[in-house]
């Protein structure tokens, strides 16, 4: 989601304005603290548009002076925001510091919007005309006291923002889409039969003609799911020799068409390279994943233990995947599939509030700072979740983060927020 950075001297009414934007009356409470004390990120929503509000505010008493501190704010804003809002005190007018900041911000390739606060009545509006001198275009008057003008200001700010995907939670409403994949003879058709036979409710053939259904609506555990490409399962396409290539294309297409993939493994056989490749494909496609160990009825106690160890080794890259042990033939534990799919999808949909994310980040970074590279300690400025499905996070940093440290962050992220069953992506934006 786009980032709006708010820059301004202390006491110009910035916090009041920030609170207006966030729709709060009380003063900003520091329970949602940022990574460093002088930077706080919040989730904001205006007219159905989500964005991150970065308050570069705060004041370090030991800062080298207002000039230095505020230029640091401006630099951070220019490096990380999509739109910058400069707040000046409309009653005081542009100070030397304001002018210096404006000079810096004029270099920005991002839109900069100028707000003049404390304009509580129309008399003040004449005075702010002088703010045109800052060279940032029209000064927009707002009253912190009455909130006058802040709605108009936000409309202007949002117009300047790049379009973000709207809240997509309801975008593709309808049954959740599931791909059932796995090697030939692992039991995919049996599982489909078990699921549909059990509930006697292949509700409908969705696409294609009735004689060649592509997807099936199936009721599992009281919920309707769409199983993609069931035609492939029923007709066993790709199982004759020489068609492996097409079978793998079909698997890939099914994974991409689905939101969650159920990867069937044969518990009585060693895990194959091919199985791991499919798991990677799901993660790379950014889809949720559930592992189903099928033919559990065939394996004895010893094999179960051996296989669990084998799985742990094979799946080191997917420690986040939930596993269910089932038998498509006997119907054993098949009812555990739906809860696992639901959990995976819920986490795939997850949005971590920016405040919580940055609280987490400051705790983690305080406990273990990023390793020094080239004599420099990279600083992590703040984080925001750019997207869900799958959860995608952006870290704004002052330097490159090593892959090992990024993996560490992912591990810690998964310890704090429920993300079982979904891949996550962590992107790093290094500020120039």
Establish if 184 lies at the interface with ligand GDP (CB under 6 A). Answer: yes
Rounded CA separation 275/186 (Å): 11
**For ligand GDP, which is the closer residue by CB, 233 or 381?**
233
- Minimum CB–partner distance for residue 189 and ligand GDP (Å): 3
Establish if 248 lies at the interface with ligand GDP (CB under 6 A). Answer: no
Q: Which of 110, 118, 188, 342 binds ligand GDP (CB under 6 A)?
A: 188
- In the numeric block, the tokens 């304009």 are attached to 119
Rounded CA separation 319/9 (Å): 47
Rounded CA separation 70/260 (Å): 47
- CB of 322 closer than 8 Å to CB of 236: no
Establish if 195 lies at the interface with ligand GDP (CB under 6 A). Answer: no
- CB of 396 closer than 8 Å to CB of 319: no
- Tell me the window of 78-86, 168-176, 185-193, 350-358 that interacts with ligand GDP (CB under 6 A): 185-193
Beta bridge partners of residue 114, listed in sequence order: 86, 139
Q: Which parts of 45-136 fold into alpha helices (H)?
A: 66-80, 96-106, 122-127
Establish if 232 lies at the interface with ligand GDP (CB under 6 A). Answer: no
Establish if 190 lies at the interface with ligand GDP (CB under 6 A). Answer: yes
Establish if 252 lies at the interface with ligand GDP (CB under 6 A). Answer: no
**For ligand GDP, which is the closer residue by CB, 151 or 331?**
331
List CB contacts of 5: < 8 A, sequence separation 6 or more.
54, 56, 76, 77, 80, 81, 83, 84, 85
Rounded CA separation 320/343 (Å): 12
- Minimum CB–partner distance for residue 361 and ligand GDP (Å): 43
Q: Which of 281, 325, 327, 358 binds ligand GDP (CB under 6 A)?
A: 327
Establish if 292 lies at the interface with ligand GDP (CB under 6 A). Answer: no
In order of 15, 110, 150, 160, 211, the CA distances from 94 in angstroms are 18, 21, 20, 23, 74
Establish if 329 lies at the interface with ligand GDP (CB under 6 A). Answer: yes
Is 363 annotated in some ligand binding site?
no
Q: Smallest Cα–Cα separation from 182: which of 76, 70, 272? A: 272
- CB of 78 closer than 8 Å to CB of 28: no
**x-marked contacts with ligand GDP along 351-390 as a string, rule CB under 6 A:** ----------------------------------------
**x-marked contacts with ligand GDP along 295-324 as a string, rule CB under 6 A:** x-xx--------------------------
* Chain contacts with ligand GDP (rule: CB under 6 A): 182, 184-190, 233, 294-295, 297-298, 327-329
Residue set of the binding site: 8-15, 55-59, 182-189, 229-233, 294-297
Residue set of the binding site for GTP: 8-15, 55-59, 182-189, 229-233, 294-297
């Amino acid at each position: 989601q786009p980032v709006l950075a708010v820059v301004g001297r202390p006491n110009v009414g910035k916090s009041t304005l920030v609170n207006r934007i966030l729709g709060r009356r009380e003063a900003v409470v520091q329970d949602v603290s940022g990574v460093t004390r002088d930077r706080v990120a919040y989730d904001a929503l205006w007219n159905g548009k989500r964005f991150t509000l970065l308050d570069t505010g705060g004041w370090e008493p030991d800062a080298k002076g207002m000039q230095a501190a505020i230029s640091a704010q401006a630099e951070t804003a220019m490096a990380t925001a999509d739109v910058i809002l400069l707040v000046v005190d409309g009653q005081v007018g542009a100070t030397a510091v304001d002018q210096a900041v404006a000079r810096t911000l004029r270099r920005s390739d991002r839109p900069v919007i100028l707000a003049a606060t404390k304009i509580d009545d129309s008399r003040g509006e004449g005075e702010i005309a002088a703010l045109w001198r800052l060279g940032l275009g029209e000064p927009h008057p707002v009253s912190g006291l009455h909130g006058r003008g802040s709605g108009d200001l936000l409309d202007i700010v949002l117009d300047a923002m790049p379009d973000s995907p709207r809240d997509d939670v309801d975008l593709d409403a309808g049954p959740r889409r599931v791909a059932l994949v796995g090697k030939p003879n692992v039991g995919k058709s049996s599982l489909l039969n078990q699921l549909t036979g059990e509930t006697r409710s292949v509700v409908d053939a969705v696409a294609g003609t009735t004689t060649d259904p592509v997807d099936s609506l199936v009721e599992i555990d009281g919920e309707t799911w769409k199983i993609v490409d069931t035609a492939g399962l029923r007709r066993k396409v790709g199982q004759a020799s020489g068609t492996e290539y097409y079978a793998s294309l079909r698997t890939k297409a099914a994974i991409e068409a689905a939101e969650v993939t159920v990867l069937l493994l044969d518990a009585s056989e060693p895990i194959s390279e091919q199985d791991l490749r499919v798991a990677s494909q799901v993660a790379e496609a950014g889809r949720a994943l559930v592992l189903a160990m099928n033919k559990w009825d065939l394996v004895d106690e010893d094999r179960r233990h051996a296989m669990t160890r084998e799985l742990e080794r094979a799946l080191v890259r997917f420690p986040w995947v939930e596993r269910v042990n089932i038998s498509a033939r006997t119907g054993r534990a098949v009812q555990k599939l739906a809860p696992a799919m639901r959990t995976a999808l819920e986490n795939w949909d997850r949005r971590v509030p920016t405040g919580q994310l940055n609280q987490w980040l400051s705790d983690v970074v305080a406990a273990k700072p990023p390793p020094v590279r080239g004599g420099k300690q990279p600083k992590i400025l703040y984080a925001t979740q750019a997207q869900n499905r799958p959860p995608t996070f952006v870290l704004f940093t002052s330097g490159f983060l090593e892959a090992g440290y990024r993996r560490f962050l992912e591990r810690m992220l998964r310890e704090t927020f429920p993300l079982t069953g979904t891949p996550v992506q962590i992107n790093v934006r290094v500020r120039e």
